[in-house]
């Protein structure tokens, strides 16, 4: 994970067994969604969106965050967090 104080020394993440693959898959999906969403956001500036479209855009990333939190709840409580 990027270390903003020492960019040449990234921080290691410690994850419980079995959490690396789901994190990698979620990050891959996030990247795919962002690659589509960011250009679309700039193209849509002059176009009015329906409430359904706007709601869909704002729930994608929080939904991903929610899924990750749910997975973390099932992990052992002694798992160290990145510092």
Please tell me the distance from the alpha carbon of residue 23 to that of residue 68, in angstroms, as a whole number. 8
pLDDT category at 43 given cuts 50, 70, 90 is confident
For residue 78, what pLDDT is reported? 43
Which carries the bigger pLDDT value, residue 31 or residue 60? 31
Check: CB of residue 30 under 8 Å from CB of residue 64: yes
pLDDT category at 10 given cuts 50, 70, 90 is very high
Task: Please give the full DSSP string across 11-35, using - where no structure is assigned.
Answer: PPP---TT-HHHHHHHHHHHHHHHH
pTM over 0.75: no
Please tell me the distance from the alpha carbon of residue 76 to that of residue 68, in angstroms, as a whole number. 14
Helices (H) and strands (E) in the chain, counts: 2, 0
């Amino acid at each position: 994970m990027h270390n903003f104080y020492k960019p040449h020394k990234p921080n290691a993440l410690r994850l419980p067994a079995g959490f690396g693959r789901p994190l990698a898959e979620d990050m891959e999906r996030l990247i795919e969604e962002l690659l589509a969403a960011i250009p679309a956001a700039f193209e849509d500036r002059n176009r009015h969106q329906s409430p359904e479209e706007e709601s869909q855009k704002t729930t994608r990333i929080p939904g991903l965050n929610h899924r990750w939190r749910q997975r973390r709840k099932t992990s052992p409580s002694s798992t160290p967090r990145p510092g």
